[in-house]
Chain A
Amino acid sequence: MIALIRFQLAGYLRSMRFLPPLIVAVLLVLLVFGQWPSGPDRIKLATGTLGDAAAFMVPLSAWTSRSLLDTQPTVQRWITLLAVRQSAIAGLLAAFTASTVLGLILFAAPLLQALTIGVPAATTAAAALLVPLACAAGTLIGAWTSRAIIPGAGASLLTLLAILTASLLLGLGRLSFLAIPYLDWIKAAHNGPSNLQSSLPAVLLHLFLWCAAAATGYLLTLHRQTTPT
């Protein structure tokens, strides 16, 4: 499986498909997160930036994941499936790896701000746990809209945007348990370090369960498509 992850990452890097999300991430760092907080609320602002950066990771990871999983032609996916039966898991892990690297680039500046400005270390560490889970959520959204699930490029792109929008808007109503809890952690982060630290356990649990459900559904769907009888 490691060989397949390396194969997929190598193809992703060689195909240069990583460049568009990387450019967006760098622009976000330079234009949004690069501004150093100042003033009396600088700690609160730095904490809020941590939450904002984690929220931006979801769409960026989805984009990365979809482009990575679609790098291989369909016939090549068949060939690799015959070589490594757990290719769906390997694909998810490869996409998660790429998304995490991108997430770390995006998160580096807010993390540095939090550490230098004086956000409590416990809050910063808890917020750092958002990075892998936000990347995982985005990875799974990208996987659900990859060619293996939705063959049409246009349909998959529209579905990706729809899922991202729905995952945000569902958090406003009664179906908030279906949403990715962006709003919860953004609101908590902008209310200060203590508020974020107290809210994070519930947020992380919610995010973890959301990711587990999405991953299970994705793997079962691929399993039904490709597993021989």
Chain B
Amino acid sequence: MRLDTVAFRYGRRGPWVLRDVTLALGPGDIIELTGPNGAGKSTLLRLLAGLHRPRRGKITERPASIGYAPERFPADQPFTVTTYLAHMCALHNLPRDASQHWTHLLNLDHLLNTPLPELSKGSAQKVGLIQALLPSPKLLLLDEPFSGLDAATLAQLPELLATLAANGTTIVLSDHQRLLHHPAITNLPPIRHLHLANNTLTEPTPAPTSTPNPTSPIAIRTPGPGSPTSPPEAPSAPKPTPESLAEDAASRAVTTPGTPTPSTPAPGPDAPPATASPNARAATASPDTSTASASPAASGVDVSAALDQTPAPPFPEASTTPRSPVQVINAPADAPEQGASSKDPQPTPPRTSQSTSRTSTQEPPDGPHTPSPGAPLQPTPDTAEASTGATNGYSRRTASSQSSSDVPDGWTVLEVVVRADEADAVERELRAAGRTVRRGASE
């Protein structure tokens, strides 16, 4: 399949969404499409599917059988899961029960008689995935396929994609969570990384494997008492097995280190990790600091969008303010000086029950012309203020409470304290942005 200088815009006078997109896709390719929100990833997927016509250029050699899983499955339809899938089977000239294999695999059997409008987001997403997989497509287009899925399904999908790719299916997916870069995923063929920004598509550096790159791992973890941490693996460390991914996912942790992007001002793939110094780590953590402090519940800010796109100021005022509903403590595992600074709890009385979290962040690469949130930023003295001012009676775990072996090179740990009532929202947003989150016990 080829795209030759494809350009597209909605309407004759609308702004160009895509320009000069030239691309060749081969059987068995797995293409990961990244880019900031609104960059045109979904539009490109629909162009690939043939649902939009390019305004300029042409798309040739498109496979006849195409599976398309939309970003939001249209659940507003008057069917139950089983009747809907039966109709989809009929559309593909398949037996009525052809979807049983997939519903069983994706653990949807217990919802077969549930009306589509009553499905949760993740369950609806599964239905969308199943209908895309039904025809055994030669071109599989997945628009944010991992969004909202439960841990068990998340752990299964990479292997499923690998099997499809091995059978010659071309897979193009947009994925903010970058799940395919989990270190536990070892059986995927090389993933091509395409980045869409400023209306153009670039293929920065071919991601050689699904192994994580130390320059852009993203993880947020909240250690629970006795809960095993599953940190992103350092390049030199032995790879975990796929089971570890399931374990990881089952323990509500998603680790999604990203691939490098040349446009990122950060060092390239061969460069030393951006977290070579504590300062760099602290600075790298700052975008999360800013976005976490602007909690969705408090301010309506889209955390994931901000994480993806916004080169936040090094340390926002909100995070240094004791009244901030979400407080962030920078506590890299191997930066005891910061951990020590965080051992002085502010004598502010706790407003609500709070959850503790340990956060390890490093921003994903962003567009070629977008300042990368992952670029090392210079730490400011506010870091310490943020650490000390963000306690609210919270008993901190610092680097000393977590083995430094848990945090590989290139990762930064943030401890995030949020109000109990907004913890779910913040966690959801951070997961959507590709961080690893583990919830700790409130103290």
Contacts and interface: CB of A to CB of B under 8 A. Distances in A.
A83 B77 contact: no
Interface residues of B, number: 30
Contacts of B54: 229
Interface stretch (B44-52, B179-187, B408-416): B44-52
Interface string A68-101: 0000111110111111100000000000000000
A78 B68 contact: yes
Contact of B70 (A11, A15, A79, A227): A79
Contact of B78 (A4, A6, A15, A229): A15
Contact of A82 (B68, B72, B78): B68
Nearest to B139: A82
Contacts of A83: 88, 91-92, 135
A76 B78 CA distance: 12
Contacts of A74: 74
B144 to A, nearest CB: 13
A174 interface: no
A209 to B, nearest CB: 30
A10 B62 CA distance: 31
B59 A229 contact: yes
Given A3-B91, A15-B78, A82-B68, A226 B59 contact: no
Nearest to B71: A75
Chain A, interface residues (CB within 8 Å), range:
20 to 34
Interface in B295-309: none
B77 A76 contact: yes
B66 A82 contact: yes
A191 B351 CA distance: 86
B370 to A, nearest CB: 28
A75 B74 contact: yes
A173 interface: no
A228 interface: yes
A150 to B, nearest CB: 14
Contacts of B441: none
Interface in B18-75: 46, 49-51, 53-54, 58-60, 62, 66-68, 70, 72-74
Given A82-B51, A225-B53, A229-B59, A7 B68 contact: no
Contact of B91 (A7, A14, A72, A226): A7
A19 B248 CA distance: 51
A216 B85 CA distance: 32
Contacts of A84: 91
A6 B73 CA distance: 21
Residue from A4, A10, A72, A82 whose CB has the most chain B CB atoms within 10 Å:
A82
A6 B46 contact: no
Given A7-B87, A7-B90, A229-B53, A14 B59 contact: no
Contacts of B16: none
Contacts of B78: 11, 14-15
Contacts of B135: 83
Contacts of A73: 74, 76-77
A224 B68 contact: no
B298 to A, nearest CB: 32
B102 interface: no
Given A79-B131, A228-B50, A11 B90 contact: no
A3 B96 CA distance: 11
B418 to A, nearest CB: 34
A101 B87 CA distance: 22
B59 A228 contact: yes
Nearest to A15: B78
B87 A78 contact: no
Interface in B79-126: 79, 83, 87-88, 90-93
B135 to A, nearest CB: 7
A18 B232 CA distance: 55
A79 B67 CA distance: 8
B49 A78 contact: yes
19 contacts: A3-B91, A4-B91, A7-B87, A10-B79, A11-B77, A15-B78, A76-B77, A78-B51, A78-B70, A79-B131, A82-B49, A82-B50, A82-B51, A83-B135, A225-B53, A227-B53, A228-B51, A229-B54, A229-B58
